[in-house]
Amino acid sequence: MITIAIYNLKGGVGKTTSAVNLAHLASTAKKNTVLWDWDPQAAATWYFGLDDGERKAIRLLRKGEPFGTLEIISPFPNLSIVPADLSLRQFDTDLAGMGAARRFMRQLIKPVGKNTDILIFDCPPTLSPSMEFLLSGVDLMLVPMIPSPLSLRAMHQVTEFFQEQKQPPRRIHGFFNMVDMRRSIHKQTLESAKLLPLPVLKTLIPMDSAAEQMSEMRAPLTSYARAGRAATAYRAMWKEIARVLRTKAA
């Protein structure tokens, strides 16, 4: 199983949009894919037309319920979702009292590996202990960035934090989202991307109204706007990610 976390400390940079579309693309490549929604906002869960209903994510985490009790089959073949809900916000308080919190997180994820090729985490814009432990175990942490100073600052904070950790994610790559080359700040930022402290994917995800429509469609844009600019870019990005991971995931 390959684990990918979409993470940035900055909010609103396209983590959920990217997690939803990359998970959909992985599943269309006939990979058994799980999208694990780790954000109490539960936007990824919602984008798939799913609601958490009576399922409480915290049950899985706190009471050690088997992973399968929370996994929901999505409307798309080969793709299931582990939904989030507001109960997740209590999780860090619980984790604080746990001696082997890092090991607990690994154990939590382990059962997913039995039937899963690709596990994608949609992360909240926080660096809580659970986030730290989750990210430290992933094969790839993908950091979406809008080409703007605040978004880059958050990326610097995240990169520096993990440089100082004994167990950083196996790989950390950035990518640019909501790119509009007509804006001079976007152009300048991209021109100086070589100077950033992390490798940056070549594929740029452009500004595309298809992304905003996701909340009306409640589906990945790669399913309803396949010929659009963002969908085309996400397909190219998924191939690039597969090369980074040296897998035939695409």
Q: Which residues bind ligand ATP (CB under 6 A)?
A: 11-17, 39, 41, 43, 125, 177-178, 205, 207-208, 211-212, 214, 230
Task: Look at residue 151 and give the partner it binds from Mg ion, ligand ATP, none, a contact being a CB closer than 5 to 8 Å depending on partner kind.
Answer: none
Question: Which residue, 32 or 198, has its beta carbon nearer to ligand ATP?
Answer: 198
Dihedral angle of Cα 224, 32, 6, 74, to the nearest 10 degrees:
50
Of residues 212, 201, 208, the one with CA closest to residue 238: 201
The stretch among 13-21, 78-86, 128-136, 143-151 that binds Mg ion (CB under 5 A) is: 13-21
Question: Which residue, 15 or 55, has its beta carbon nearer to Mg ion?
Answer: 15
CB 88 within 8 A of CB 56: no
Q: Which of residues 34-93 bind Mg ion (CB under 5 A)?
A: 43
Measured from the CB of residue 219, what is the shortest distance to ligand ATP in angstroms? 13
The gap from C-alpha 162 to its chain's centroid, in whole angstroms, comes to: 17
Cα separation, 108 vs 79, in Å, equals: 19
**Using the rule CB under 5 A, is 186 a contact of Mg ion?**
no
Question: Which residue, 16 or 33, has its beta carbon nearer to ligand ATP?
Answer: 16
**Using the rule CB under 5 A, is 16 a contact of Mg ion?**
yes
The gap from C-alpha 99 to its chain's centroid, in whole angstroms, comes to: 27
Measured from the CB of residue 163, what is the shortest distance to ligand ATP in angstroms? 22
**Using the rule CB under 5 A, is 15 a contact of Mg ion?**
yes
* 165: exposed, middle or buried (Cβ count in 10 Å: 0-12, 13-18, 19+): exposed
H or E element that contains 157: helix 149-163
**Using the rule CB under 5 A, is 10 a contact of Mg ion?**
no
**Using the rule CB under 5 A, is 8 a contact of Mg ion?**
no
- Sheet containing 172-176: which strands, arranged edge to edge? 72-73, 79-82, 33-37, 118-122, 2-6, 140-145, 172-176
Question: Which residue, 231 or 250, has its beta carbon nearer to ligand ATP?
Answer: 231
